[in-house]
């Protein structure tokens, strides 16, 4: 007898619905908030602003639904099975925290939504009139967007796989190493790009603080130097922790 084929089978459907609800709630709320801020900056009329918010929420919902469904449909093809029993109860191995995994997925989706839909409203708002001075040079930033999306999508898929495999293994740790290495490489390239930050953003902050633009540039350079140390350290620690937990699970 031929087995039934599903887009998302019953073994993972419950987990799919839980994750979908969380992602939809967070992303649509952020889309509504971001669009409302953008509408207020551009002084749209009330009804026009409402229509823009509704459109943004609808598009965010469709995008979120498609993204989560695509990940779990991929999992269905790969034979994912989500057990309600914790791995620790079965084998003594240390499991992933479901709440932490779900929070990680939501955070990645938030980043994707922010970078793709609201990067142009990230910046400094000066008065009067709440004039926006964008943080990023959009032309330069858009050149990185494809790579950002590719890494975030891979990270989202990796987080979803944690709900299935439920524990650190050496293949999981190796996948985490590859993703972290790619993320670090992109971060270092973007951080070292002198054209990524909008010059108007620096000039306006200097103006508001009564300082020379060079002073603000120096402060940003110092911040960049700190990030050059902190971010790689966090990524190295996360990678090492994955292999450490995999080795502990292997021993048990």
C-beta of residue 36 within 8 angstroms of C-beta of residue 49: yes
If 0-12 CB within 10 Å is exposed, 13-18 middle and 19+ buried, where does residue 144 land? Answer: middle
* Polymer length of the chain: 252
pLDDT in tens, the chain (252 residues): 445 666 777 777 777 787 788 778 877 887 787 777 777 766 677 777 788 888 878 887 887 788 788 877 877 776 666 655 454 444 455 677 777 777 788 888 778 877 877 667 666 656 555 566 677 888 888 889 889 989 988 888 888 888 777 788 888 889 999 999 999 999 989 888 888 877 776 676 666 666 666 666 677 778 788 888 888 899 999 899 888 888 887 765
C-beta of residue 145 within 8 angstroms of C-beta of residue 138: no
- The kind and range of the H/E element at 139 are helix 138-165
Residue 102 has what pLDDT? 78
Give me the residues paired with residue 125 across strands: 132
Residue 181 has what pLDDT? 93
Residue 210 has what pLDDT? 62
Torsion angle (degrees, nearest 10) of CA 113, 72, 248, 176: -40
Instruction: Give the position of tokens 């993703």.
Output: 179
Residue 66 has what pLDDT? 81
């Amino acid at each position: 007898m031929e087995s039934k084929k599903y887009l998302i089978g019953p073994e993972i459907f419950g987990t799919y619905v839980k994750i979908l609800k969380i992602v939809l709630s967070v992303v649509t709320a952020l889309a509504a908030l971001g669009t409302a801020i953008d509408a207020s900056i551009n002084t749209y009329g009330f009804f026009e602003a409402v229509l823009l918010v509704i459109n943004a929420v609808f598009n965010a919902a469709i995008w979120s639904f498609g993204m989560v469904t695509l990940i779990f449909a991929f999992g269905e093809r790969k034979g994912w099975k989500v057990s309600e029993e914790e791995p620790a109860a079965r084998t003594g191995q240390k499991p992933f925290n479901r709440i932490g995994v779900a929070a990680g997925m939501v955070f990645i989706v938030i980043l994707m939504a922010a970078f793709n839909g609201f990067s142009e409203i990230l910046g400094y708002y000066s008065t009067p009139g709440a004039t926006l001075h964008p943080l990023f040079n959009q032309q330069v930033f858009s050149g990185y967007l494809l790579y950002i999306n590719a890494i975030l999508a891979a990270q989202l898929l990796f987080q979803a796989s944690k709900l299935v495999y439920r524990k650190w293994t050496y293949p999981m740790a190796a996948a985490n190493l590859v993703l972290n290495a790619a993320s670090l490489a992109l971060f270092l390239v973007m951080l070292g790009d002198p054209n990524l930050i909008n010059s108007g953003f620096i000039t306006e902050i200097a103006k508001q603080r009564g300082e020379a633009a060079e002073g603000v540039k120096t402060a940003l350079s110092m911040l960049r130097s700190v990030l050059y140390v902190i971010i790689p350290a966090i990524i190295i620690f996360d990678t090492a922790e994955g292999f450490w937990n995999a080795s502990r699970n292997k021993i048990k």
